[in-house]
């Protein structure tokens, strides 16, 4: 990998009117193990993810990919995103998975092959013709992940993908995320679930009040956070 990465943020800001949500973040995201964005509600995690993915435009600072025009081989996109509540089209499971592939320019046959392979990997291989909106919450999130996985993006942004799922479905989704990361895709993910962050993270970026207050290798962060805010957050005593 390493086509367009690293992604460089320099004093990145985002405000809605007078309210500043992201207050000057400077960092670089490199290829490698998943980066987990953690922090209390309202810290700016989801907004930051949307800025990184280009769904929101910064109010200040800059966000630059090292090689903006570089793309992974084939028709793979630079980055893709899966949302907390997957937005599924009113179509079959297979049609949902082929949709973005067709948008990228894959032929119908190629899109089908890729989509079927991804759906097989997430355990939905026998549900190709089922209406996507009739799936359970866990299955819907698996479909959303398969849809993104089939694209083979260089970076995959995940916005609290297990927030609305029960423990069993969360575990299954975590396994898929781990497999995507092992496949070479850089995963950048937000979560409230600290146990999940321990399991998945290569590094942790702790956000508070729109700033990255602490960034550390996951094991170090959980063993001994350096900042007062992070310590309070891990003790469950930090509120927005």
Partner 1 sequence: MNDLSATLNATLGLLAGPDPTLAGIVGLSLQVSLTAVLLAALPGLPLGALLAVRRFPGRGAVVVATNAMMGLPPVVAGLVLYLLLSRSGPLGGLGLLFSPGAMVLAQAVLVAPILVALSRQALEALWEEYEEQLRSFGAGPGQAVRTLLWEGRYPLLTVLLAGFGRAAAEVGAVMIVGGNIEGYTRTMTTAIALETSKGDLPLALALGGVLLALVLLVNGLAQLLRGAAQRAER
Contact 114, 108 (CB under 8 A): no
> Considering the complex, what minimum distance in angstroms separates the CB of residue 205 from partner 1?
21
Closest CA to 219 of 206, 202, 207: 202
The interface region with partner 1, picked from 87-95, 178-186, 192-200, 216-224 by CB under 8 A, is: 87-95
Please report whether residue 58 would count as binding partner 1 according to CB under 8 A.
no
Q: Which of 10, 26, 60, 103 binds partner 1 (CB under 8 A)?
A: 103
State how far Cα 71 lies from the chain centre: 18
The number of helices, as runs of H, and strands, as runs of E, in the chain is 8, 9
Q: Which of 15, 99, 125, 198 binds partner 1 (CB under 8 A)?
A: 99
Please report whether residue 11 would count as binding partner 1 according to CB under 8 A.
no
3-class SS string, 177-214: HHHHHHCCCEEEEECCCHHHHHHHCCEEEEEECCEEEE
> Considering the complex, what minimum distance in angstroms separates the CB of residue 122 from partner 1?
18
Cis peptide bond prior to 101, omega within 30° of 0: no
- For residue 191, the tally of other CB atoms under 10 A from its CB is 23
> Considering the complex, what minimum distance in angstroms separates the CB of residue 24 from partner 1?
25
Task: At 134, give phi and psi (nearest 5°).
Answer: -90, 0
Q: Which of 131, 194, 226, 234 binds partner 1 (CB under 8 A)?
A: 131
> Considering the complex, what minimum distance in angstroms separates the CB of residue 133 from partner 1?
8
| 203-208 and 155-159 beta bridge pairing | unpaired
The interface region with partner 1, picked from 4-12, 33-41, 48-56, 61-69 by CB under 8 A, is: 48-56
> Considering the complex, what minimum distance in angstroms separates the CB of residue 188 from partner 1?
14
- Can you give the binding site for partner 1, defined by CB under 8 A? 50, 53, 55, 77, 80-81, 83, 87, 89-90, 99-100, 103-104, 131, 133-134
């Amino acid at each position: 990998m390493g086509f367009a990465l690293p992604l460089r943020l320099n004093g990145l800001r985002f405000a809605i009117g007078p309210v500043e949500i992201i207050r000057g973040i400077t960092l670089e995201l490199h290829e490698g193990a998943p980066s987990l964005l953690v922090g209390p509600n309202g810290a700016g995690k989801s907004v930051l993810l949307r800025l990184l993915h280009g769904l929101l435009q910064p109010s200040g600072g800059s966000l630059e990919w090292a090689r903006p025009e570089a793309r992974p081989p084939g028709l793979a996109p630079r980055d893709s995103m899966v949302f907390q509540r997957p937005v599924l089209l009113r179509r079959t499971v297979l049609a949902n998975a082929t949709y973005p592939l067709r948008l990228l320019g894959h032929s119908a046959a190629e899109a089908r092959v890729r989509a079927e392979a991804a759906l097989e990997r997430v355990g939905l291989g026998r549900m190709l013709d089922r209406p996507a909106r009739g799936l359970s919450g866990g299955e819907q999130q698996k479909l959303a992940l398969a849809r993104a996985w089939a694209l083979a993006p260089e970076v995959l942004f995940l916005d609290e993908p297990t927030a609305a799922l029960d423990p069993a479905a969360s575990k299954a989704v975590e396994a898929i995320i781990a497999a995507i990361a092992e496949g070479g895709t850089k995963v950048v993910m937000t979560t409230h679930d600290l146990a999940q962050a321990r399991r998945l993270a290569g590094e942790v970026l702790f956000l508070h009040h729109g700033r990255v207050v602490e960034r550390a290798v996951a094991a170090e962060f959980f063993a001994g956070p350096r900042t007062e805010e992070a310590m309070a957050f891990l003790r469950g005593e930090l509120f927005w």
